Structure 1
Amino acid sequence: MSQQSASARNALAHETSPYLLQHAANPVDWYPWGEAALEKARREGKPILLSIGYSACHWCHVMAHESFEDAATAAIMNEHFVNIKVDREERPDLDRIYQIAQQMLTQRNGGWPLTMFLTHDDHLPFFGGTYFPREPRHGLPGFGEVLQRIAEFYQSEQDSIRRQNESLRQALDSMAQQTAASADSLNPQPLTLAIEQLAQNYDQQHGGIGSAPKFPHPTHIERLLRHNALEGDARARDMALQTLRSMAAGGIYDHLGGGFCRYSVDAEWNIPHFEKMLYDNGPLLALYSEAWQVSGDDQFKRTAEETAGWVLREMRAPEGGFYSSLDADSEGEEGRYYIWTPASIEAALKDDAEAERLLPLVMRHYGLDRPANFEGHWHLRVTRPLSEVAEELGLDIADARALLDRARQKLFAVREERVRPGRDDKLLTSWNALMIRGLATAGRVFERDDWIEAAATTLDCIREHLWVNGRLLATYKDGHAHLNAYLDDYAFLLDAILTLLQARWRRADLDFAAELAEVLLEHYADEQRGGFFFTADDHEQLIQRSKPLMDDSLPNGNGIAAFALQRLGHLLGEPRYLDAAHRTLLAAWPDIERLPFAHNALLLALEENLYPPQLIILRGDADQLPTWQAIAQQGYQPRRLTLTIPAAETNLPGALAAMQPQGPAVAYVCSGTQCSAPIDDAGMLRRQLHGA
């Protein structure tokens, strides 16, 4: 749809969010969340219909086609409600509040599309749900009927609505009344208990936590790998590696183009929900790189390379950042872009000189010799290991790998001719930060300067377009950045910068990290109880100022803020950062103790609070430092932070100022506030870090 045609219909035509623009030509008189819509509701006394979704959401599209594009349904909406459409990726503050309220009201899990009905004056929800069909089915009432009943109820039952809203307000307020633990409460027990809880929910056969629908949960995998590094726990390592192997072999992974889909609808990782999100692939890129460090398994390296290849090929914006997501649908059907038939595979490969060897290899490896697995079609996943198929076909494993790569390239070229899924081309600060961290980690592990450069360019993009007057903005598209940033934006970006600094030193990046930390402390910190609010102190006033502690599809912002501030505090010798991190842990301690495995981001901070990170500062000549850096960064050492700072760099801030160059190269090795004598011999450094 064109923006010009949309502008004749509703107020979404002037937005930049691709999701909002998808609804700009609806017959519904949609408004974005803002004073114009809220004032209209107050003036007219109409309840607000709040619809929250995102552009890659399949059921959001279904509800849009069934109801929001239907003139009769739109007429009811326009007559009785002020209709507000929200992109949950741009406004996670609103989404977080109303998802929690929906769960309180209905005692059911939330999701998208989220459909909430709010009072006209104080914006408290009095009824809600997720997807409603246009006609009654699956035990759900038709949306038109719901609208009529809600409109009548709102006019006749104001007293009961206000009583319910007062109870809801009290419940929301009580969530903020956290009681902090005493100063000596922190202990390592939650680190161990989290592993036990993960083990209890672990799928021994297929890997992963829980059953269908099964999500990647990068924070869980990271906890398992870090616990193995901390305690030498082989069980934790094996759970992490089996999960990563199963995901890379399953249909949740794109075997032709690289990258991971959002989740698997089954427990076996076979059939995904086909949307691809930037926020999954950044953390998974880092994890597959670290899994290769732990295991040396080339499957992890290939998966990391292909995932990085996908994001750089298909998600890169001209400004240097990364787009948000790829849709689950193309041509109106979920997964259409990705699926095959044996006949279409044969047609794609038949003209190759090696077709007689390619076809049976692809068919057996990816399961096309088995019954269709997706609505009469085949979605590629590894059903038999390549080594097994190679032996059956009398092929050397190296030849089989070369043949498979050749076939994949041909199939990928054919798929490129199809109608592509829609792409949400806004840049989100927090999601780009996760990809900066992923690329910087993978670039350092695999010595890929191009990936490190891409991470640095993305950080530069954020500084240029989303850092305005000393504050971050949340989203950018088509030359326009807007919306005050959230806790996640600052926390994830601070963590990403510290990761990038380990791959490539840039003084400006360290200074930027310190600026971000200062904004966190000034505008987001809860000075009374500890921890950080999701929104700044000068943010729009909503029905709740939340302080989330639990991980969801993203790592928790309080946990990452505490983790990154702790690291920066040790690095610069800044006690204010260390104190803010410690107070966050104390504020969250009752929640951490109650359910450790749901607070993995906070467990990162707890681990390094109890066992401070090892800091290695390398100073010296540019031609000497790479050798020293390779020694310091050898292997999977998650609690090690290494900065390689050229001798020419002067006037370093804080504790770094004392770490002066001495001769061709020197290493300063510190743990917490304790530092060893400078080490001026590379062999000695190797022995101290890795033993004889």
Structure 2
Amino acid sequence: MERESFENTVIAGLLNREYVCIKVDREERPDIDSVYMSVCQAMTGQGGWPLTIIMTPDCRPFFAGTYFPPTARYGSMGLQELLTAAAAQWKLEKEKILDSAEQITAYVKEQEQPTAAEPGKDMVHLAFRQFADNFDKKNGGFGGAPKFPTPHNLMFLLEYSIRENSREALDMAETTLTQMYRGGIFDHIGGGFSRYSTDDRWLVPHFEKMLYDNALLAIAYLEAYSRTGRKLYECVAKKVLGYVERELTDAQGGFYCGQDADSDGVEGKYYVFTQEEIRQILGKEEGDAFCVRYGITANGNFEGKSIPNLLGNKDYERICEEQFVCVSGDHMDGIGREAFQKLYKYRIRRAPLHKDDKILVSWNGWMICAFAKAGAVLGDKRYVDMAVRAEGFVRQNLMKNGRLLVRYRDGDAAGEGKLDDYACYILALLELYQVTFQTAYLEQAARCAEILLEQFFDQEKGGFYLYAEDGEQLFMRTKENYDGAMPSGNSVGARVLHKLAQITGETKWQEALDKQLYYLAGAMEGYPSGHSYALLTMMEVLYPTKELICTLSCDSDSDTERRTKRLAQLAYLAETIPGLSVIMKTQKNGEALGGLAPYIQNYPIPEKGEQFYLCSGSQCMQPVSELTQLLRLLGAEGAAEHDIFKDFKRF
């Protein structure tokens, strides 16, 4: 619409003469987007972008729609006709329009109040059945084209497979994760995933790459790896994180929003190749081998050219692992690592991509979670360091007077932090605490969570509003609870409250969590599969959880290598055993930790060695002093075979 209508001199003149025009960046103002999208959905039965709203001077809407062509076309109203008619009606029937706006406002507010319900396993099972009924058994994913990755749906299925011992749930998640990697939605040369697939095979993507997609997908692949031990998932997660580190990481440590789909005004130009190009770059022998392996054909699979993919290659699993771990120069099918480096450098020179170098708090929260989790699951401190550095960037550049901002670019930070900013940042802090056991992260999480409850939480009915009570007020305050491309702020808020309640034992977090889950249960009634991330927290409450307290002696503080190794091993257990939270108490952090989690004061620090206290539900077991004993209690003897319990060089 910008190119077709807003740059049209006739329409621009009409807009400037009759209206006060406001263009909204929905990444910076998700509150405005949410409020007026709910109006559009209520008035038209559907929503989408671009969103077109006509409203009164006091910002109450009386007309809503999405895309409009410049002029009437094939029976559809054009923007020019719409604007002309609305301006005339405003002059002739202003009172009628104001009355209509009042009725619309009242109706939308009424729709924003779901009835609370009691959380139960029936909702969890219904969500699983809804996914199963919509599952594409051949290609993975759910429904037909276009297909979105929606990683939190896969996280739900992975968790459900463990909690209910469901092979079907695991197969759905694994088939989808595998087929997405094989398809063109994954960038086999540079790593990372595009936003969605335009077909049902994951072959032809909309080529735009977004930070949040890649963060959530990295988490999903790491979850799958920790559940199955399948090396494919480890390799894909590493490739995704490698892409983010290489192309979306600011020099100061923050993460950029993403990369455009277009190069030189042509969608996908950066990513596609002809056979001739491949042979030119790699030489005939290696080029031919690459074309066979990655489906580069004479006719192409996208507008006469080819998107590299492994959909027709049954060796995809071996290829992924071989390409990533091979350091000696060995290769199979006549393709070495250098081939990918050559192709990567060639396409950058040929048609570089535009980078959206904004740094958003909420999206950075997700990527911090991904890097922190990778460090713990893969036993690689380099990933944890990336997460620590990014959190430091947010704290230094995107906080003012103890409150979060929204975005940063070129030294300029702005915006009042919204629900997603606080919820995702707190989640990242709790993730960092769980992999480093540094009490400062837990302290910061608790401080920000106090603001979350004070400024965003509906103390009476539960649910978090999208913007703060002391922030700029729109004509209504909405509560988003549906998990779309990203989990909703309300779903993340529930997870944050649960983690804080589980770690600290404080009743204020538990009481808020109870209200939040009742609110979410009411919101998801009838369609729980649309709230998959909220269901992850609900499962934590409905199924058994475990709490582990580890007390380390003073001599552990002086033995740095031993202490570091134990922290990494406990972080691995915290990230890979469902429902487990871990707290580490030492002489150094005991006082600060006791202020956050008062019950921890009852656990003495041994004079030598360490003690492990494990509780499940309301039952606590006798403390043990050996890691092997702890693994038996956790039913995780197999963890001892992981590199992190044997080879400790990476940490």
TM-score (norm 1): 0.84
Is 1:633 the counterpart of 2:572? The answer is: yes
Q: Which amino acid is the alignment partner of residue 189 of structure 1?
A: D
Structure 1 segments of 4+ aligned residues over 6 angstroms from their partners: 388-391
CA contact (8 A) 2:612 2:625 kept: yes
Q: Which has the higher contact order (CA 8 A, sep 6+)?
A: 2
Q: Aligned match of 1:568 in 500, 509, 527?
A: 500
Alpha-carbon RMSD = 2.3
Q: How far is the alpha carbon of 1:561 from its aligned partner?
A: 1.2
Q: Aligned match of 2:146 in 213, 228, 232?
A: 213
Match of 1:489 in 2: 421
Distance 1:134 1:469 in 2: 46
Alignment CA distance shift 1:425-1:606 (3 Å): same
Q: How far is the alpha carbon of 1:204 from its aligned partner?
A: 0.9
Is 1:387 the counterpart of 2:315? The answer is: yes
Distance 2:3 2:304 in 1: 24
Match of 1:464 in 2: 396
Q: How far is the alpha carbon of 1:644 from its aligned partner?
A: 4.3
Q: Deviations over 1:573-605 (max 9, x none)?
A: 101001101111112222233211111122122
Match of 1:202 in 2: 135
Match of 1:164 in 2: 100
Q: Which amino acid is the alignment partner of residue 630 of structure 1?
A: Q
Q: How far is the alpha carbon of 1:657 from its aligned partner?
A: 3.3
Distance 2:350 2:600 in 1: 54
Distance 1:141 1:370 in 2: 43
Q: Aligned match of 2:80 in 115, 140, 144?
A: 144
CA contact (8 A) 1:116 1:125 kept: yes
Alignment map for 1:287-366 (pairs within 5 Å):
287-350=220-283, 355-356=284-285, 358-366=286-294
Q: Which amino acid is the alignment partner of residue 130 of structure 2?
A: Q
Identical counterparts, % of pairs: 37
Work out the number of aligned pairs and report it: 615
SS at match of 2:590: coil
| Structure 2 gap segments, 5+ residues each | 320-325, 638-651
* Bigger mean CA deviation after superposition, 417-426 or 95-104: 417-426
CA contact (8 A) 1:262 1:276 kept: yes
Q: Deviations over 1:199-221 (max 9, x none)?
A: 01111111011211110111110
Q: Which amino acid is the alignment partner of residue 271 of structure 1?
A: V
Alignment CA distance shift 1:419-1:665 (3 Å): same
| Structure 1 gap segments, 5+ residues each | 1-62, 392-396
Match of 1:671 in 2: 616
CA contact (8 A) 2:155 2:223 kept: no
Q: How far is the alpha carbon of 1:92 from its aligned partner?
A: 0.4
Alignment CA distance shift 1:196-1:203 (3 Å): same
SS at match of 1:594: coil
Alignment CA distance shift 1:401-1:150 (3 Å): farther
Match of 2:643 in 1: none
Q: How far is the alpha carbon of 1:628 from its aligned partner?
A: 6.9
SS at match of 1:117: strand
Q: Deviations over 1:653-690 (max 9, x none)?
A: 32333334322222222335654333211221121112
Match of 2:38 in 1: 100
Alignment CA distance shift 1:254-1:686 (3 Å): same
Match of 1:262 in 2: 195
Distance 1:268 1:374 in 2: 13
Alignment map for 1:484-633 (pairs within 5 Å):
484-611=416-543, 613-620=545-552, 621=556, 622-625=560-563, 626-627=565-566, 629-630=568-569, 633=572
Distance 2:313 2:172 in 1: 19
CA contact (8 A) 2:204 2:307 kept: yes
SS at match of 1:83: coil
Q: How far is the alpha carbon of 1:235 from its aligned partner?
A: 0.5
Q: How far is the alpha carbon of 1:401 from its aligned partner?
A: 7.0
CA contact (8 A) 2:482 2:488 kept: yes
Match of 2:49 in 1: 112
Q: How far is the alpha carbon of 1:648 from its aligned partner?
A: 3.1
Q: Aligned match of 2:349 in 417, 422, 425?
A: 417
SS at match of 1:116: strand
Match of 1:373 in 2: 301
Distance 2:55 2:242 in 1: 44
Distance 2:333 2:386 in 1: 29
CA contact (8 A) 2:550 2:611 kept: yes
CA contact (8 A) 2:502 2:581 kept: no
SS at match of 2:452: helix
SS at match of 1:618: strand
Q: Deviations over 1:432-484 (max 9, x none)?
A: 00001111111111112111111011111111112221211111222222221
Distance 1:507 1:330 in 2: 46
CA contact (8 A) 1:531 1:580 kept: no
Q: How far is the alpha carbon of 1:262 from its aligned partner?
A: 0.8
Q: Aligned match of 2:387 in 455, 468, 478?
A: 455
Distance 1:416 1:433 in 2: 29
Q: Which amino acid is the alignment partner of residue 3 of structure 2?
A: H
CA contact (8 A) 1:631 1:686 kept: no
SS at match of 1:400: coil
Q: Deviations over 1:248-267 (max 9, x none)?
A: 11111111111111111111
Q: How far is the alpha carbon of 1:245 from its aligned partner?
A: 0.6
SS at match of 2:569: helix
Q: Which amino acid is the alignment partner of residue 179 of structure 1?
A: T
CA contact (8 A) 1:529 1:587 kept: yes
Alignment CA distance shift 1:365-1:314 (3 Å): same
SS at match of 1:82: coil
* Bigger mean CA deviation after superposition, 605-614 or 518-527: 605-614
Distance 1:678 1:234 in 2: 34
CA contact (8 A) 1:253 1:259 kept: yes
Is 1:642 the counterpart of 2:582? The answer is: yes
* Bigger mean CA deviation after superposition, 318-327 or 124-133: 124-133
Match of 2:628 in 1: 683
CA contact (8 A) 1:229 1:637 kept: no
Q: Which amino acid is the alignment partner of residue 143 of structure 1?
A: L
SS at match of 2:613: strand
SS at match of 2:22: strand
Q: Which amino acid is the alignment partner of residue 572 of structure 2?
A: Q
Distance 2:75 2:491 in 1: 40
Q: Deviations over 1:269-316 (max 9, x none)?
A: 111111111111111111111211222222212211111011111111
Q: Aligned match of 1:127 in 63, 70, 75?
A: 63
Distance 2:89 2:403 in 1: 44
CA contact (8 A) 1:390 1:400 kept: no
Distance 1:608 1:517 in 2: 20
Q: Deviations over 1:604-630 (max 9, x none)?
A: 221122235322233322433424752
Match of 2:648 in 1: none
Distance 2:484 2:370 in 1: 19
Distance 2:200 2:93 in 1: 45
Alignment CA distance shift 1:74-1:463 (3 Å): same
Alignment CA distance shift 1:269-1:606 (3 Å): same
Match of 2:158 in 1: 225
Alignment CA distance shift 1:508-1:691 (3 Å): closer
Is 1:658 the counterpart of 2:595? The answer is: no
Q: Which amino acid is the alignment partner of residue 635 of structure 2?
A: H
